[in-house]
Amino acid sequence: MTKENNSTHDDQNPSCKINPELSRRDFIGTVIRIGMLATLAGMVYPALSYLAPITKRGPAGGLSDVGAVDDIAVGDAKKVIVAGSAVMIIRTAQGFKALSAVCTHLGCLVGWEKARQQIVCPCHGGTFDIEGKVVSGPPPKGLPPHDVSVINGRIMVKV
Ligand code: FES
């Protein structure tokens, strides 16, 4: 009598009590569940990180090099990320200023309007002067300043 079943499952062996079909189903089900969880995490994490205030991310600490002095012309500005915080670096005739680039109204990133020499929030039209004080619009308070200095031709900011 020959055995024609190619299956590796041995019904006669008492130590082999695993049902191969059920095991395969379980494995595929587990892989699908892990894939669904990974997809869900991939969708939820960016949404939550968008909602988290950008200024609360990352370590704060020492001075960070944000570029060369010549990167910003007098009367111009640029936004940088320092230790997870968005910072607006403004160059005036007197030197550099560093302010939080996060609007104090609802947290939008502000921009620099060179023609008016003002900081403008694109979300609800809030405007701030070069010192970060509210000029108009709904922001309840000014933009917090950061320490900025120039060392060996490099702009250094502390948040
Ligand atoms: S978020 Fe800036 S004015 Fe509303």
Mean pLDDT value of segment 82-100: 94
Q: Is residue 2 included in any domain, yes or no?
A: no
C-alpha span between 90 and 87 (Å, rounded): 10
Mean pLDDT value of segment 41-54: 74
Q: Is residue 1 included in any domain, yes or no?
A: no
Mean pLDDT value of segment 132-143: 96
CA of 105 to the centre of ligand 1 (A): 5
pLDDT band at 16 (very low <50, low <70, confident <90, very high): low
User: For atom 1 of ligand 1, which residue has the closest CA?
Assistant: 106
Domain shared by 65 and 132, yes or no = yes
Q: Is residue 3 included in any domain, yes or no?
A: no
C-alpha span between 140 and 45 (Å, rounded): 29
CA of 42 to the centre of ligand 1 (A): 28
CA of 126 to the centre of ligand 1 (A): 6
Domain shared by 81 and 26, yes or no = no
C-alpha span between 99 and 87 (Å, rounded): 6
Q: Is residue 75 included in any domain, yes or no?
A: yes
CA distances to 84, 110, 149 from 53, rounded to whole Å, are: 10, 14, 26
Its domain, for residue 136, covers 55-158
Q: What pLDDT was estimated at residue 6? A: 47
103 lines ligand 1 (CB under 6 A): yes
CATH number of the structural domain spanning residue 101: 2.102.10.10
Domain shared by 20 and 45, yes or no = yes
Number of domains forming the structure of the chain: 2
Q: What pLDDT was estimated at residue 14? A: 54
Q: Is the pLDDT of residue 2 over 50?
A: no
139 lines ligand 1 (CB under 6 A): yes
Lowest mean pLDDT of 28-32, 75-79, 103-107, name the range. 28-32
Domain shared by 88 and 60, yes or no = yes
DSSP per residue, 131-142: TS-EEESS-SS-
